[in-house]
Structure 1
Amino acid sequence: MELTAYTGQKEYARQIESYQLPDEQILFSGLPATAIKLAEGDPDKYPIFLVDDQQLPVFFILHKNEGVKPYTANDQAMLLRSFSTNFIYQGMGYAKTALKILDSYVHDHFPEINEIVLAVNAANQPAICLYQACGYQETGDVIKTEYGRLLILSKKL
């Protein structure tokens, strides 16, 4: 298994279009096809997939510079956003694997980054537990949105 930057690889198009999330999870993270379209043309957004035997069980965006500023004052931090596991792969440990190898991926591809931050809906207890099990800690900061309170979590690299 490895993390791979999405750069328009045509062999993944069918899997990206068929990536499934339950409605309540789409509310929290959105589908990869939508996030990829939003990332196009933005040099600070990096769509990433966990690839396992040519399958794409996990997707997320790494966002630096302006994207991370609402969440931390650290200009060497990177925001983890749109993190999700394709419904057919949920409960198989893929999300935890992706988060565990993310540190070395960031170190290899973004050596200037010393922190990963994320915002998670306070109602999304399974995600909060997963992030905490992978070393992320609540910063104590909360952002109120129309979808509820977002807790800010951080992991120093």
Structure 2
Amino acid sequence: MRDQTEPEAVALEFYNERHRAYLEEYSLPEEQKKFTAMPLEALKACENDSGRHPVVILYDGEPVGFFVLHEGEGIAPYTESPEAILLRGYSINVNCQGLGIASQSLRQISGFVKKNFPDKTDIILAVNNANLAAQHVYRKSGFADRGRRIMGRSGEQYIFHKDIV
């Protein structure tokens, strides 16, 4: 792997079974585990909810990250907008953190959603008020805090938004 990412080296792809072995080896630092679901845990939730769509982040063709795009009734605690899609369970494998992959992948999410969910106009996510590193990355990638707050499993959550352009 390179020291810094090039935009074309990062891609988003819907999860399929060929990614499973990678996800079984996925690791996060302990301090991050309290803020996000591990990929296999998130996949299990996807199996029981057709509104959840698992996505793998690729770097040079290899899976290095994971998140879920969630639509439908399950996102009601986060927004009242039927045109919104919820980004949840976002993470980058510990071995690939610090390379700029998160920033590159988050910048690509609008295009990915626009292509695959053309009726959606807004991406939202919930970030813990104590997770300052994630807040910084999300803001740097075009997400904005519009003041909405909810209580999550690990405390107060800020709801960030990004318009799909």
TM-score range, shorter chain: over 0.9
Q: TM-score if structure 2 supplies the norm length? A: 0.90
* CA contact 2:129–2:157 (8 Å) conserved in 1: yes
Q: What displacement does 1:38 show?
A: 1.2
Aligned residue for 1:92, secondary structure, equals coil
Q: Does 1:21 align with 2:28?
A: yes
Deviations 1:27-70 (A, max 9, x none): 11121011101111321000001112332111100000112211
Residue 13 of structure 1 deviates from its aligned partner by 2.2
Map residues 8-157 of structure 1 onto 2, 5 A cutoff: 9=17, 11-157=18-164
Give the fraction of aligned pairs with identical amino acids, expressed as a percent.
35
Q: Is residue 12 of structure 2 the alignment partner of residue 3 of structure 1? A: yes
On the 8 A contact 2:59/2:101 being kept in 1, the answer is no
Amino acid at match of 1:111: P
SS for the counterpart of 2:35 is helix
Provide the aligned C-alpha RMSD in A: 1.2
Superimposed CA distance per residue, residues 51-100 of structure 1 (whole angstroms, 9 cap, x where no aligned partner): 12332111100000112211111111000000001000000011111101
Residues 40 and 132 of structure 1: is their aligned pair in 2 closer, same or farther, counting only changes over 3 Å?
A: same
Q: Report the more deviating stretch, 141-150 or 82-91.
A: 141-150
TM-score, structure 1 normalization: 0.94
Structure 2: 5+ residue runs without aligned partners? 1-9
